[in-house]
């Protein structure tokens, strides 16, 4: 299975994609949070290139980013010399999937549907094949609510090495690892 997350400058399918992360995990191997952090694929995309092809941003999302922690802004929001051209970043994600699941048979989890819509739109706009088939995507929020009786897409994690205070919110790799931990080791908040 994969967990996927993007950080964007809006909530439309054609929004600028700041960064993306993928984590491949096998529940039968009982990975730890650190295992998933160590096994992740992270891409920080060039924003300037996306402006050239008219991808969008919203004022409310820009304001939201300004209110985030400096470290998280540095990871995804602030431009850096390590930002990848779109085709290179998409190829890095594709190579990671090819290494773990070359036949594209495994489930791709994401928190809601925006992540799938945005990354598929970016792939199509840059003439690349989508990361996986549309029918492979699943919503982790719905799964967590059904499995653990919650109503907000979050639950407690029952794993001896997991420490919630170590999760860095809005860091795509950490967001992926947390969602995978909730799927595998979740329990009711009550």
Model confidence over 105-137: pLDDT tens digits? 999 999 999 999 999 999 999 999 999 999 999
> Would 45 be classed as within a structural domain?
yes
Please tell me the predicted confidence (pLDDT) of residue 190.
Answer: 65
User: What CATH number does residue 114 fall under?
Assistant: 3.30.420.10
Tally of domains within the chain:
1
In this predicted model, what pLDDT tens digit does every residue of 4-20 receive, in sequence order? Answer: 999 999 999 999 999 99
Which residue stretches of the chain have pLDDT < 70? 190
* Strands across the sheet containing 137-139: 41-44, 17-24, 2-8, 108-110, 137-139
Q: Give the residue numbers spanning the domain of 100.
A: 2-139
> Would 145 be classed as within a structural domain?
no
Tell me whether residue 3 is exposed, middle or buried, using C-beta atoms within 10 angstroms of its C-beta: 0 to 12, 13 to 18, 19 or more. buried
> Would 148 be classed as within a structural domain?
no
């Amino acid at each position: 299975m994969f967990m996927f997350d993007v950080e964007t400058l809006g909530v439309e399918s054609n929004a600028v994609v700041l960064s993306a992360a993928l984590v491949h995990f096998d529940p039968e191997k009982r990975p730890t949070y650190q295992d998933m952090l160590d096994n992740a694929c992270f891409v920080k995309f060039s924003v300037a290139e996306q402006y050239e092809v008219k991808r969008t941003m919203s004022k409310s999302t820009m304001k939201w980013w300004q209110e985030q922690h400096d470290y998280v802004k540095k990871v995804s929001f602030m431009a850096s010399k390590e930002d990848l051209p779109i085709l290179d970043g998409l190829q890095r994600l594709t190579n990671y999937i090819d290494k773990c699941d070359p036949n594209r048979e495994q489930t791709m989890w994401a928190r809601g549907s925006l992540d799938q819509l945005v990354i598929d739109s970016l792939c199509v706009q840059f003439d690349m094949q989508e990361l996986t088939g549309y029918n492979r995507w699943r919503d982790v929020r719905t799964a967590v609510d059904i499995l653990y009786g919650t109503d907000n897409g979050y639950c407690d994690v029952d794993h001896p090495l997991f420490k919630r205070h170590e999760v860095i919110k809005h860091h795509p790799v950490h967001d992926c690892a947390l969602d995978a931990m909730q799927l595998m080791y979740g329990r009711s908040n009550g």
